[in-house]
Amino acid sequence: DTAVSQTPKYLVTQMGNDKSIKCEQNLGHDTMYWYKQDSKKFLKIMFSYNNKELIINETVPNRFSPKSPDKAHLNLHINSLELGDSAVYFCASSQDRMDGSYNEQFFGPGTRLTVL
Amino acid sequence: ILNVEQSPQSLHVQEGDSTNFTCSFPSSNFYALHWYRWETAKSPEALFVMTLNGDEKKKGRISATLNTKEGYSYLYIKGSQPEDSATYLCAPKSGGFKTIFGAGTRLFVKA
């Protein structure tokens, strides 16, 4: 049983297209994240949802839009894809709570997006 | 927490060597720190979470210490093995939900 799953694992698409990456966690966690692994291999936070509410929204182009239909899912939709969007995108989840308690993040396998 | 630095960027050791690396972070508004292990072509996996100044955690041959007053954490690996080869990320966190990941230390252990 995969704890945090992402689909697809690989995504190759043309510039200008719109695409989505899906993430699901079966851990019962409250908080989910999207990270982008940039060209220097840094993990950069993009978005985070806690109980379906957007709580972190970093400076990313508004072509990127997260959607959380329920606590177990956090999808990432990207409009008008650009060459610079090529990267590996990781989804993660954790059992964070508003009282500040803090557990480790569990990561999905990543989605390698290539924009041609 | 805005600025997380890890050193060295990469490290090449022989099997059996012991090694350590550093994570530096601003000491103000500190809440907790995680160490993650990230093998090539896999996802990061949590090693330790530390919250208190002076915390020491151990998992097999890997251990970590935390100094929140001066803003650093050390990760130690005793008797490195080839399977220890990975990138080790530190991730300090201030109050709230935001975790900042360091760039990592990439460890190569040669058999």
In DSSP notation, A43-87 reads EEEEEEEETTEEEEE-S--TTEEEEEEETTEEEEEE-S--GGG-E
Tokens of B38: 């990230």
3-state secondary structure of A22: strand
User: Closest to A102 (Cβ–Cβ): which among B32, B101, B104?
Assistant: B32
User: Closest to B103 (Cβ–Cβ): which among A42, A96, A105?
Assistant: A42
CB contact under 8 A, B103 and A107: no
> Are residues A11 and A25 in contact, defined by beta-carbon separation less than 8 angstroms?
no
- Chain A residues 10-49 with a CB less than 8 Å from chain B: 31, 35, 40-45, 48
Please report the pLDDT score of residue A41 as a whole number: 78
pLDDT tens for chain B, 111 residues long, are 568 999 999 999 999 999 999 999 988 878 889 999 999 889 999 999 998 899 999 999 999 999 999 999 999 999 999 999 999 999 988 766 677 889 999 999 999
pLDDT in tens, A8-57: 999 999 999 999 999 999 999 989 999 999 877 788 889 988 888 888 88
3-state secondary structure of B83: helix
Closest CA to A74 of A60, A93, A55: A93
